[in-house]
């Protein structure tokens, strides 16, 4: 195959990107990275600072990605101070006279090839500088060496020049700096006017300069030889290595940006941008007022999330905030997080929250304002940040420890930055501030405590004793409900449990109803909105276990000028939650008095369809007039609905008013309070708030609650209590929906349009919900009006009014929704597979085809014109086709063991693959059965819970699937209640029967794309032959995520559709999250081709695939492998009872109940028949198209055409965005890689070579090496070899001992097994002992170190994640999430960060120092001992599942003591030895922590009987 040249790549890329305009949005690009800074603590510019920055960059290459050419990086750069004498020489050499004052330098990217444009750019730059009154020394062409960069990077490279400026106005430094900012903004605007967006200023400053570009980090100085000049000295160096999800080299997006560099992602970006637009109206600052029009828009287009963050950060700084305060405002610590937070800090953050919406999402930032350099984390602390201080007054901060090589003796402090923390250096003083010192400084500047008293917390006002009012009963209520399409199902299945349990109801299996736009029934507007969720590039949050970072606090009223710094900014109303009961709303309304205006959101029936638009215009006008008249609160309500007046869908009304007020620059002057009759489920609330509502009152739902209460359906509780429970369910649901996309704070979610629309007309979306993706268009205003009017007519004109029974969740015939699998199809399919009858299968497949449209593919058909059919005999065989079919991951735990094994046996028999799902697999299945059957799943899944994931499990498969998200509940974790944890499940999951098991929403070792690359790396080490698959759920933007995943060396990407099944999930997640796979798959396929990655990765899809036709369409949309889940369950006897979550499956498919399992009638033969029929079906379609193999149609969307445009009511339904094709250039449209994408070797290659005697003869050996942080996953590949050769328990502990000196890279000892012992003398990064499977890991200080071990961080974040057995001893503190999901390892450390022992289910952990906040959240098994001399533990523990007490039994005292003794023996910890020495004195300061559920499994009681007697 011919490779594409770089220039061809560039031109093809541009053309393809154009073609994919509907599919691919560059704004969805993600990036993440390694980041850090070096600071001179003596405040003197130093060469060694710059040199250390350069060195550090060379040691983070693995956090970036490299193009296939091996040279084009995703971007790297460094931000340092301007070496004035260097530039002075340049000026003088250029023949200019050097004037007094510092030289301002602009680092400018100019268009490279278009010389006239280049010239025009120079003109613009010069003009704006001169126009401001400054003068120019001249331009300097920056020396570069293009040999070291890749062809693609070179093809897109700008012309790089520097402009040198003389402070001709003689202004002071701060003013000069600010003026240069204004000049830069003017230049940027002029460039846009001139149509030369290529013009880009990396920096324009008299203080500092940024060198960046698309080279590999290690080539920084090769590309920019300037940096080698010894005159390049600086007091700080901020450096950054980028990992981007695309492959198109974009030079300007390399970091650092003007002020900051960032590792992570801003999840609230759309909301922040929207609110920033609104804030612009009121921006005012004495420093910037003359230039505000130049500066606006603050957020510049075409930027990445970091660039935008930088834009706003810069604005705050230029308006007078220093960097630490700007960080506190934008990325504040969570007030709820830190139980020990001093009041002054709390007050300050309350003030910050009153000023602006937090920029939320995983973030490690380093930033400078010229005087300060800071490094900080977001509230969740999801990115690593370690620091070291040396004897030579140097501070080294970075994503990893060990990036700069140091002598251990020179280190005086090693630490880490925790969640919400910031450290900083005031270069002017110079002084280093640790987190609490910095916060003290900020908090002392103003009397924030007094300021925030002005925030009117109105909860006590709205929470009156007033009875909940009741306004509608009987017919009046029913007609209103009917007019809004409320069904009995809504009331019984959704509303009732919300009141009864204060929780959202749970359902199971997938959503098989039509996409709303295809339905023939009325579907509320909320059905068209799909919730956004996080996957790969950012993590979701656990809203249940990590409540301390979450907040629904809602500010109402007039939002002020964010650039102010005074008490008036706190003049706000504040509520705990945006969800209000009717009584609460009435009270709030009364409190608002004249400051509120009420806008009626109904229209007269007689106006017909046109009435809707007219009414929306009126509503917008009335709201605007209200605000202009000074109302600080707008109330939208549909209470006026009646026989004569139709209610407008409140989502539409809210969107209309919100956008209108934003466009009129009025939104920040008012709150938007919505009373909606239609609003009932959590999703509706989320949509209302997401499109701009400040508060919501679901008054008619409350009437329904009152009605049921009146009828005694809620037992003894009062109506008020019933309403409060409903409200609680909604609050929890809102937190869950926000957390799904990693948003913790509702003010950043509000108006953020964190949805994707399917099936609303593009025009409507552009008008009322601007910026929300709506790729296939659909129903418009007139269609909505028609539907609403029809419903209204039925509701108000019928004589007796009965609510429809429903049918959206469960199939009903009377007016119910269509369902993909109905009774007839189930029957036909089961008969077909039981009788091996292809003709019966045909009847099934034909019936599927004839059914009403449910999926987008139902609107597509094959384009047969001009195609010559061939004989079916010429088409590839059934056996060939079946190999592409997969039985997707359904866990043992959901499925009965019988069903699970039947699937594996069937798939193995036909040479295809089944997926184990989460939850482990019985090792007995790894041995073939006597009849030759193999019950081992060929694909082993690794999910966020890591249940049952051991080295052995991972070595018994051909593929490892990383389940990032699941179609039925993307962005959510799961919980297996104790009652379902049977003996067998407990054994496979390394837990105890009857104990609740929790899967966290994110993988705690994947918070961003480079983390995923690391996990893939680890997995490819632990199984050197298996391919790795990454399972994603379709959403828009999945294309760029897929590109990132491909760059992370995945071999397969699975795109799951929204219809995917589940064993248990909240109903609103099953119904309203994720997209059809048709959309996700085509996007992924196209964007992978665009990026020239498609031929290096296989695409698989699943979600409701039922027939050969589905398979062929999926192939044409870009898939080469196909998962068939629900249909294979049905083949085994499933009849879609949809009670999987109840453990009562009457046919024994999805249950652990012995009695029910006995009813299982599935056989491998039935499953094989299904897969064979589908393959045969595929063959006949291929034959009819004249095609010989499935591979030939992959990506051939030209063979598809849209045959239906949906109902007449729609404006348009346009599937063309799915059918556009990117030109693949010289590459195939499918994967051409044989085997797998290999990853580089690590130290293990050497270790394996050196340990020949051990592997060949089992001889005991000791090896010794020096290591750096670039040596990752040490011991993992060796473990694979051990487990394959000797088994999990075949060796004595420590039979192979490896001693390592230095800083270990990430994933030290990942999945390492018994027989291996790793001793690190130095420190280690994140993920130590990930999945530990029996090995011993020791991390300790070198004898020469001067550090006090207990005060310093020695291992990183997320240590022992998913460990099942083994030992860890670390003489120092661990980072955040220590021992998360540990289910068996035993460990001793000397302190740990936040969220320690989270989700732990087994093992024993001894922590000889302080723990961070939220300790033990979701901790359900195992034990921890915590040494707490300062008595802080009880403030930091998450008490939900735990018991804790002082040690009260000699048995447990001995256990603890022995572990500490072992720790001392392994690590030589002086601190631990001291504790032992004083043991009787320190023992009373220990806590013993045990989950309540776990107590009964302890071998000895917590309190010894004799002591208990004594106490009694």
Partner 1 sequence: MPERMLQFVHLPQQMPEKRNVLRRRTDFDEIYRQFEPDEAARQASRCSQCGVPFCLIHCPLHNNIPDWLKLTAEGRLEDAYEISSATNNFPEICGRICPQDRLCEGNCVLEKGHGAVTIGAVERFITDTAFERGWVKPIRPHRELALSVGIVGAGPAGLAAAEELRRQGYAVDVYDRYDRVGGLLIYGIPNFKLEKEVVLRRWRLLEESGVRFHLNTTLGKDISLETLRQRHAAVLIATGVYKPRELGGPGVGLEGIVPALDYLIASNRKGLGDPVPAFESGLLNAAGKQVVVIGGGDTAMDCVRTAVRQGATSVKCLYRRDRANMPGSMREVKNAEEEGVEFIWLAAPEAFFGEGSVRAVRAVRMRLGMPDASGRQSVHPEEGGHFMVPADLVIKALGFDPEPLPVLWNEPQLEVTRHGMVKINHRTFMTSLPGVFAAGDIVRGASLVVWAIRDGRDAAAQIHSYIQQSAQLAEAAD
Q: Applying CB under 8 A, which residues contact partner 1? A: 488, 492, 497, 500-501, 509, 711, 713, 799-800, 802, 805, 809-814, 819, 821-824, 826, 1135-1139, 1142, 1144, 1146-1147, 1153, 1155-1156, 1159
Q: Is 33 a catalytic residue?
A: yes
Closest approach of Cβ 826 to partner 1, in Å? 6
Rounded CA-CA distance 1170/878 in Å is: 12
SS (H, E, C) 1042-1105: HHHHHHCCCCEEEEECCCCCCCCEEHHHHHHECCCHHHHHHHHHHHHHHCCCHHHCEEEEECCC
Question: How many angstroms separate the Cα of 348 from the Cα of each of 254, 279, 334, 342?
Answer: 34, 21, 11, 10
Tokens of 51: 């040199």
Rounded CA-CA distance 739/1393 in Å is: 22
Residue 1249, SS3 per DSSP:
helix
Which of these, 1194, 1160, 1204, 1175, lies nearest to 1107 by C-alpha position?
Answer: 1175
Query: 221-250: buried (b, 16+ CB within 10 Å) or exposed (e) per residue?
Result: bbbbebbeeeebbbbbbbbbbbbbbbbbbb
Phi, psi of 949, rounded to the nearest 5 degrees: -90, 105
Closest approach of Cβ 1133 to partner 1, in Å? 10
Tokens of 168: 């001709």
Do 587 and 467 touch, CB atoms closer than 8 A?
no
Let me know if 934 is exposed, middle or buried by CB neighbors in 10 A (0-12, 13-18, 19+): middle
- DSSP letter string over 67-89? -TTSS-BS-EEEEEE--HHHHHH
Rounded CA-CA distance 401/56 in Å is: 10
Which of these, 293, 323, 294, 292, lies nearest to 310 by C-alpha position?
Answer: 323
Q: Where are the beta strands (DSSP E) in 608-764?
A: 633-637, 645-647, 671-675, 695-697, 755-757
Residues contacting 507, CB < 8 A, separation 6+ = 809, 1064, 1065, 1066, 1067, 1070, 1138, 1141
Which of these, 1386, 1332, 1381, lies nearest to 1022 by C-alpha position?
Answer: 1332
Residues contacting 680, CB < 8 A, separation 6+ = 486, 490, 494, 495, 698, 701, 704
Rounded CA-CA distance 298/300 in Å is: 6
Closest approach of Cβ 1164 to partner 1, in Å? 21
Q: How far is CA 166 from the centre of its chain?
A: 46
Do 917 and 899 touch, CB atoms closer than 8 A?
no
Residue 453, SS3 per DSSP:
helix
First to last CA, the chain: 83
Residue 38, SS3 per DSSP:
strand
Which of these, 174, 572, 181, lies nearest to 356 by C-alpha position?
Answer: 572
Strands 1365-1370, 1333-1340: pairing kind? parallel
Do 1345 and 391 touch, CB atoms closer than 8 A?
no
Which of these, 1279, 1462, 1282, 1295, lies nearest to 1369 by C-alpha position?
Answer: 1462
Strands 431-433, 135-141: pairing kind? unpaired
Strands 1200-1202, 860-862: pairing kind? antiparallel
SS (H, E, C) 624-640: HHHHHCCCCEEEEECCC
Q: Which helix (H) or strand (E) holds 961?
A: strand 959-963
Nearer to partner 1, 273 or 803 (CB): 803
Catalytic residue IDs: 33
């Amino acid at each position: 195959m011919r490779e594409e040249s770089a220039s061809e790549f560039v031109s093809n890329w541009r053309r393809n990107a154009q073609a994919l305009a509907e599919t691919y949005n560059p704004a969805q690009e993600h990036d993440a990275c390694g980041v850090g800074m070096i600071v001179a603590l003596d405040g003197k510019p130093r060469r060694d600072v710059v040199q250390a920055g350069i060195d550090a960059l060379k040691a983070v290459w693995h956090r970036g990605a490299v193009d296939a050419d091996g040279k084009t990086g995703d971007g790297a750069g460094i931000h340092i101070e301007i070496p004035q004498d260097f530039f002075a020489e340049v000026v003088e050499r250029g023949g200019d006279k050097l004037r007094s004052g510092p030289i301002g330098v602009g680092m400018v990217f100019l268009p490279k090839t278009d010389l006239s444009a280049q010239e025009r750019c120079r003109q613009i730059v010069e003009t704006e500088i001169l126009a401001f009154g400054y003068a120019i020394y001249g331009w300097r062409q920056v020396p570069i060496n293009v040999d070291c960069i890749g062809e693609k990077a070179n093809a897109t490279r700008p012309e790089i020049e520097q402009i040198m400026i003389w402070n001709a106005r003689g202004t002071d430094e701060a003013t000069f700096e600010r003026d240069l900012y204004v000049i830069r903004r003017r230049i940027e605007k002029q460039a846009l006017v001139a149509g030369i967006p290529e013009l880009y200023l990396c920096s324009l400053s008299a203080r500092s300069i940024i060198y960046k570009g698309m080279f590999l980090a290690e080539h920084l100085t090769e590309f920019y030889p300037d940096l080698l000049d010894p005159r390049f000295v600086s007091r700080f160096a901020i450096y950054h290595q980028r990992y981007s999800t695309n492959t198109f080299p974009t030079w300007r997006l390399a970091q650092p940006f003007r002020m900051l560099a960032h590792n992570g992602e801003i999840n609230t970006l759309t909301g922040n941008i929207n609110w920033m637009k609104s804030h612009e109206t009121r921006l005012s600052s004495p420093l910037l007022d003359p230039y505000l029009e130049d500066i606006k828009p603050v957020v510049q287009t075409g930027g990445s999330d970091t660039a935008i963050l930088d834009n706003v950060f810069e604005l705050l700084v230029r308006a007078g905030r220093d960097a630490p305060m700007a960080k506190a405002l934008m990325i504040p610590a969570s007030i709820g997080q830190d139980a020990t937070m001093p009041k002054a800090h709390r007050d300050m953050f309350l003030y910050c929250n009153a000023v602006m919406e937090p920029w939320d999402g995983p973030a490690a930032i380093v930033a400078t304002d010229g005087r300060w350099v800071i490094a900080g984390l977001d509230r969740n602390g999801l990115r690593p940040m370690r620091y070291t201080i040396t004897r030579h007054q140097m501070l080294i901060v970075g994503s990893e420890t060990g990036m700069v090589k140091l002598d251990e003796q020179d280190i005086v402090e090693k630490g880490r930055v925790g969640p919400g923390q910031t450290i900083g250096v005031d270069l002017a003083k110079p002084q280093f501030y640790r987190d609490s010192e910095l916060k003290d400084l900020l908090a002392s500047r103003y009397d924030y405590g007094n300021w925030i008293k002005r925030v009117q917390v109105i909860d006590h006002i709205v929470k009156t004793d007033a009875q909940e009012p009741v306004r509608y009963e009987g017919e009046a209520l029913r007609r209103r409900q009917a007019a809004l399409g409320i069904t009995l199902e809504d009331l019984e299945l959704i509303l009732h449990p919300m009141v009864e349990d204060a929780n959202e109801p749970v359902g199971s299996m997938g959503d098989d109803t039509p996409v709303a736009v295809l339905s023939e029934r009325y579907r509320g507007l909320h059905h068209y909105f799909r919730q956004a969720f996080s996957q790969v590039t950012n993590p979701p949050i656990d809203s249940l276990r990590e409540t301390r970072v979450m907040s629904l606090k809602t500010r109402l009223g007039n939002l002020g000028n964010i650039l102010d710094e005074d008490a008036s900014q706190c003049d706000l109303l504040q509520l705990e939650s945006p969800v209000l009961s009717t009584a609460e709303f009435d009270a709030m309304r009364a409190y608002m008095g004249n400051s509120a205006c009420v806008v009626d959101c109904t229209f007269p029936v007689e106006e017909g369809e046109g009435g809707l638009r007219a009414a929306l215009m009126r509503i917008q006008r009335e709201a605007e007039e209200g605000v202009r008249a000074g109302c600080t609160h707008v109330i939208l309500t549909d209470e006026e609905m009646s026989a004569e007046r139709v209610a407008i869908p409140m989502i539409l009304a809210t969107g209309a008013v919100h956008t209108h007020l934003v466009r009129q620059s009025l939104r920040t002057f008012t709150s938007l309070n919505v009373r909606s009759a239609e609003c009932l489920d959590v999703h509706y609330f989320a949509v209302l708030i997401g499109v701009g509502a400040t508060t919501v009152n679901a008054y008619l739902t409350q009437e329904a609650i009152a009605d049921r209460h009146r009828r005694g359906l809620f037992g003894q509780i009062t109506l008020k209590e019933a309403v409060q429970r409903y409200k609680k369910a909604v609050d929890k649901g809102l937190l869950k929906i926000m957390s799904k996309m990693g948003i913790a704070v509702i003010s950043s979610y509000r108006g953020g349009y964190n949805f994707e629309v399917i099936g609303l007309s593009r025009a409507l979306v552009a008008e009322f919900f601007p910026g929300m993706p709506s790729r296939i268009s659909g129903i418009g205003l007139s269609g909505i009006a028609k539907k609403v009017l029809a419903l209204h007519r039925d509701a108000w004109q019928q004589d007796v009014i009965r609510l429809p029974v429903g049918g959206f969740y469960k199939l009903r015939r009377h007016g119910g929704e269509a369902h993909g699998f109905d009774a007839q199809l189930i029957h036909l399919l089961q008969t077909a597979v039981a009788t091996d009858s292809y003709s019966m299968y045909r009847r099934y497949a034909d019936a599927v085809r004839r059914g009403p449209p449910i999926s987008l593919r139902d609107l597509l058909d094959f384009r047969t014109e001009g195609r010559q059919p061939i004989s079916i005999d010429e088409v590839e065989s059934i056996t060939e086709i079946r190999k592409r079919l997969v039985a997707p991951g359904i866990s043992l735990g959901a499925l009965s063991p019988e069903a699970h094994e039947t699937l594996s046996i069937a798939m193995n028999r036909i040479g295809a693959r089944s997926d184990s799902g989460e939850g482990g697999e019985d090792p007995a299945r790894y041995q073939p059965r006597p009849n030759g059957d193999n019950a081992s799943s060929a694909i082993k899944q690794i999910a966020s819970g890591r249940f049952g994931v051991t080295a052995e499990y991972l070595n018994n498969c051909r593929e490892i699937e990383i389940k990032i998200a699941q179609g039925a509940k993307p962005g959510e974790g799961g919980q297996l209640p104790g009652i379902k944890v049977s003996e067998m499940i407990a054994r496979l999951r390394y837990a105890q029967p009857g104990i609740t098991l929790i899967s966290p929403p994110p993988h705690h070792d994947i918070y961003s794309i480079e983390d995923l690359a690391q996990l893939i790396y680890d997995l490819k080490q632990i199984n050197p032959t298996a391919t790795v698959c990454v399972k994603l759920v379709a959403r828009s933007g999945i294309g760029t995520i897929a590109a990132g995943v491909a760059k992370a060396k995945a071999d397969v990407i699975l795109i799951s559709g929204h219809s995917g099944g589940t064993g248990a999930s909240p109903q609103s997640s099953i119904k309203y999250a994720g997209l059809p796979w048709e959309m996700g798959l085509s996007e992924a396929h196209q964007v992978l081709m665009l990026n020239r990655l498609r031929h290096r990765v296989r695409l698989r899809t699943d979600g409701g695939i039922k027939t050969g036709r589905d398979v062929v369409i999926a192939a044409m949309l870009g898939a080469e492998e196909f998962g068939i889940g629900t249909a294979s369950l049905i083949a085994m006897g499933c009849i879609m009872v949809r009670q999987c979550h109840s453990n009562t499956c009457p046919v024994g498919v999805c249950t652990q109940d012995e009695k029910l399992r006995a009813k299982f009638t599935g056989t491998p033969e039935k499953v094989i028949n299904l897969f064979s029929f589908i393959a045969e079906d595929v063959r006949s379609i291929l034959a009819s198209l004249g095609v010989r193999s499935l591979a030939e149609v992959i990506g051939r969307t030209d063979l598809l055409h849209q045959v239906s445009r949906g109902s007449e009511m729609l404006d348009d339904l346009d599937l063309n965005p799915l059918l556009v094709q990117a030109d693949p250039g010289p590459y195939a449209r499918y994967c051409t890689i044989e085997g797998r994408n290999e990853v580089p070797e690590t130290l293990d290659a050497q270790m394996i070579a050196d340990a020949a005697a051990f592997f060949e003869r089992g001889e005991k050996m000791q090896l010794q090496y020096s290591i750096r942080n670039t040596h990752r996953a040490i011991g993992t590949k060796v473990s694979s070899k051990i487990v394959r050769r000797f088994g999990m328990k075949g060796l004595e502990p420590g039979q192979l001992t490896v001693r390592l000196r230095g800083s270990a890279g990430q994933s030290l000892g990942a999945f390492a097994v018994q027989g291996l012992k790793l001793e690190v003398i130095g420190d280690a990064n994140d993920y130590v002992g990930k999945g530990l499977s029996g090995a011993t890991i020791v991390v300790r200080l070198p004898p020469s170190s001067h550090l006090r071990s207990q005060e310093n961080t020695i291992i990183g974040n997320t240590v022992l994640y998913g460990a099942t057995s083994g030992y860890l001893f670390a003489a120092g503190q661990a980072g955040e999430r220590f021992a998360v999901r540990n289910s068996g390892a035993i460990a001793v450390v000397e302190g740990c960060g936040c969220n320690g022992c989270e989700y732990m289910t087994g093992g024993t952990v001894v922590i000889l120092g302080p723990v961070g906040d939220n300790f033990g959240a979701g901790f359900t098994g195992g034990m921890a001992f915590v040494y707490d001399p300062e008595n802080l533990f009880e403030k930091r523990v998450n008490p939900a599942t735990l018991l804790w007490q002082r040690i009260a039994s000699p048995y447990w005292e001995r256990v603890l003591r022995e572990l500490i003794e072992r720790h001392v023996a392994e690590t030589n910890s002086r601190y631990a030895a001291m504790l032992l020495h004083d043991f009787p004195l320190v023992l009373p300061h220990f806590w013993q922590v045990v989950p309540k559920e776990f107590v009964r499994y302890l071998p000895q009681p917590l309190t010894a009987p004799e002591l208990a007697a004594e106490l009694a």
